[in-house]
Amino acid sequence: MPQHLPRCQCYDGNGQRVKKTAPNLTVLYFGEGYEKRGGVGIIHLFAGNQRIASVRSDGNTQFYHPDHLGSSWIVTDGNGAIKEKNEFYPFGTYLDSFTSYPFPPANYTPSPARKKTKKSASTTIMPDCMIRC
């Protein structure tokens, strides 16, 4: 299972996440299409509202293969090798997961048929989060 470390998530006035900090990593979000993770830019490509690929500024690419509810079930690299596999219980709890790629985990995508709360048990809200953003 993925390791969940304490982190701070910062949101703008529209409720969109703009920054996430963890002990060894800061991620900046610029809408859904671009993020900067540890100094590496990542462009996310979509077909409609479904993310299909991510291209990193260091040359790595990954492709998302969704399950029937739209969550990224399998993630492959540019050669088709499986780099991440996620399986979920109902309501988004991980059943099984593994990753072997330098990308962020693809994780769960909420849908009307499978709902997950915004605050999960793995998120620790830090009191000074808003001050540091």
Question: Domains in the chain: how many in total?
Answer: 1
Is the residue at 104 inside a domain?
Answer: yes
Is the residue at 3 inside a domain?
Answer: no
pTM score, whole prediction: 0.64
Is the residue at 133 inside a domain?
Answer: no
Q: Is 63 helix (H, G, I), strand (E, B) or coil?
A: strand
Please give the residue range of the domain that contains residue 90.
8-111+120-128
Is the residue at 67 inside a domain?
Answer: yes
Res 131: pLDDT: 47
Taking the alpha carbons of 15, 21, 22, 27 in that order, is the dihedral positive or negative?
Answer: positive
Res 45: pLDDT: 96
Res 58: pLDDT: 93
Positions of the chain with pLDDT under 70: 1-6, 92-133
